[in-house]
């Protein structure tokens, strides 16, 4: 081991009182017998002293407070908008999700849910009363469902143009909520394949399409205002 080199590398720790007692004694002894090491110690001590004498506070060339204040106010506004959108999205989802959970549970138990519990859906157009909706061919419910799907697509396109106006957290929240609605729609459509023309499922599907469209419209309006 090259002791002078090793001890030289520890000089800063020696100066700062960071060495254990044994190593500090070795450095003391080396400093007494090695004038070059002693000179280096003195030079490092001077550098440390000069650096410690530098002012801790430096004054910015301009007052930064107005800009900081402006940025915090803007951040508060964005946070408020995010909370409002989150609440709106949740309010749109909760009743439908609760109904869906109840619907599947009732279906598995073989029970019927009262019509009053179904989310409001557009009334189907004139339909022969003697036939179930599915047997009448493309129904007014199908028409409403398709119209809503097309409308949602158009609003999505409009939102896409302005989505960068939304804070990233808000965008993520909206996308998650839309994904949840789409997942619910997917499940209803799957159920409709197994029970084609089921009026309750069709009305539920229309209701979810309406919720999706409503959320998209609200988010798009907010994004174009920001």
Partner 1 sequence: MEAAILPLSSTEIPAPGPDRPADESLLLSRFRESDAAAFEALYRHHNGRIYGYVMRLTGAVESAEELTQEVFVRAWQHRADFQNPSHFRSWLFRVASNLWIGQLRSARRRTTEALEPEEEARLEAPSAAPPALGLELERAIRRLPERIRAVLVLFDVYGFRHAEIAELLDITVSTSKIHLHRARRRLKEVLQ
**By CB under 8 A, which span of 80-88, 92-100, 158-166, 208-216 interacts with partner 1?**
80-88
- The reply to whether 104 sits near partner 1 by the rule CB under 8 A is no
Closer CB to partner 1, 80 or 196, in the complex: 80
- The reply to whether 116 sits near partner 1 by the rule CB under 8 A is no
Q: CA 126, CA 140: separation in Å to the nearest integer?
A: 8
CB of 87 to partner 1, least distance (A): 11
Q: How is residue 214 written in tokens?
A: 């409503």
90 membership: H or E segment, kind and range: helix 65-109
Please answer whether residues 146 and 122 qualify as being in contact, where contact means their C-beta atoms are separated by less than 8 angstroms.
no
Q: CA 157, CA 164: separation in Å to the nearest integer?
A: 13
- The reply to whether 9 sits near partner 1 by the rule CB under 8 A is yes
| The binder of partner 1 chosen from 47, 101, 111, 183 (CB under 8 A) | 47
Q: Residue 58: helix, strand or coil by DSSP?
A: coil
Handedness of CA 114, 100, 184, 225 (dihedral sign): positive
| The binder of partner 1 chosen from 84, 94, 111, 221 (CB under 8 A) | 84
Closer CB to partner 1, 201 or 223, in the complex: 223
């Amino acid at each position: 081991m090259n002791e002078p080199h090793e001890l030289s590398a520890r000089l800063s720790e020696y100066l700062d009182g960071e060495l254990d007692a044994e190593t500090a004694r070795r450095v003391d002894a080396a400093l007494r017998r090695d004038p070059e090491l002693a000179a280096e110690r003195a030079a490092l001590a001077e550098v440390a002293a000069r650096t410690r004498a530098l002012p801790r506070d430096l004054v910015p060339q301009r007052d930064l407070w107005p800009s900081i204040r402006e940025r915090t106010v803007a951040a508060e506004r964005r946070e408020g908008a995010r909370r409002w959108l989150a609440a709106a999205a949740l309010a749109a989802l909760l009743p439908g999700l609760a109904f869906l959970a109840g619907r599947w549970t009732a279906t598995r138990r073989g029970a019927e849910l009262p019509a009053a519990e179904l989310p409001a859906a557009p009334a189907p157009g004139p339909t022969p009363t003697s036939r179930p909706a599915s047997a009448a061919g493309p129904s007014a419910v199908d028409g409403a469902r398709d119209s809503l799907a097309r409308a949602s697509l158009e609003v999505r396109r409009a939102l896409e143009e302005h989505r960068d106006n939304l804070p990233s957290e808000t965008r993520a929240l909206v996308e998650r909520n839309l994904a949840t609605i789409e997942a619910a729609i997917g499940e209803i459509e799957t159920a409709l394949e197994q029970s084609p023309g089921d009026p309750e499922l069709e009305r539920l599907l229309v209701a979810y399409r309406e919720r999706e469209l409503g959320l998209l419209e609200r988010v798009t309006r907010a994004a174009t205002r920001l």
